[in-house]
Structure 1
Amino acid sequence: MNKSCSVQQGFSLTEALIAMLLLSVSILGLLNYYQSLTHGFMQQWQVQQAWAKAHSQLEACSVTGKGTEPFTDGWEFLLTGLSDAQSCTLVSAAIQTPAKYQAILQRLICNFSP
């Protein structure tokens, strides 16, 4: 008698479904991580831009006496000056990003006459 042995090859439907479930959960985790990473980079870029814009506003104010360049949508800007009895003014530049981060720089600008 010759008995034939059947050898199973490949995966069963259950194994394939479990593998697909694990793969989809892994992909969802990676997409969530990517979204968090992108949000963090965007927030860091806005913080750097806020400090750079505040600095450029103070530079422009020290040269021309007023701020420069209009800001894009969502950005807020305030340039204030407080004068004393002398010829000096304390100028403050406040920039607020769309993510509500606020950068404030101050500079004392003195105009000395020869």
Structure 2
Amino acid sequence: MTDDGTSQQGFSLPEALIAMLLLSVSLLGLMNYYQSLTYGFMRQWQTQEAWTEAHSQLEAHAATGKGTEPLAEKWNYQFSGVSAGQLCQRVQVIVQTPAKYQAVLHRLECNFAP
């Protein structure tokens, strides 16, 4: 009650400041969680795309003797072939994502045409 006999309702300044502090800490935690979740999804997507792209590169190499153009900028591709006898060659492709994840696939390609 105030001096004139009326009662006051509402929050005091310290209560409002504590509520603002709790709200800002909660929002900061949620933003950090969202950032981590987004990074995890991005990394998972890049990993899946790297394996898919490595397989596509090996398929293209088997059909044409060379790989295809890179999927996107900052994706690195590396082919290597090692002779595995007179008619066969072991082909390896390495696809590296911008997040530095590597997908490595090998295939044995043999040419038995007369």
Shared fold, TM over 0.5: yes
- Give a deviation string over 1:64-112, Cα, whole Å, max 9, x none: 1110123422211101111233211111000111111111000111111
Aligned residue number for residue 32 of structure 1: 32
Aligned length: 111
For 2:102, the equivalent position in structure 1 comes to 102
In the TM superposition, residue 36 of structure 1 has moved relative to its aligned partner by: 0.5
Partner of 2:67: 67
Alignment of 1:1-114 (within 5 A): 5-114=5-114
Unaligned runs of 5+ in 1: none
What is the rounded CA distance, in whole Å, between the counterparts of 1:64 and 1:82 in structure 2? 17
TM-score (norm 2): 0.90
Q: 1:5 Cα shift? A: 4.4
After TM superposition, which residue ranges in structure 1, 4 or more long, deviate above 4 angstroms?
none
User: Conserved in 2, the CA contact under 8 Å of 1:47 and 1:97?
Assistant: yes
Give the Cα separation in 2 of the matches to 1:80 and 1:106: 9
Q: C-alpha deviations, 1:33-85, integer Å up to 9, x for none?
A: 00010111111111111111100000001111110123422211101111233
Match of 1:81, SS? strand
1:30, 1:76 → 2: CA distance?
34
Q: Report sequence identity in percent.
A: 65
**1:62–1:109 contact (8 Å) kept in structure 2:** yes
**What RMSD, in angstroms, separates the aligned Cα atoms of the two structures?**
1.4
1:101 counterpart letter in structure 2? Y
Q: What SS does the corresponding residue of 1:106 show, helix, strand or coil?
A: strand
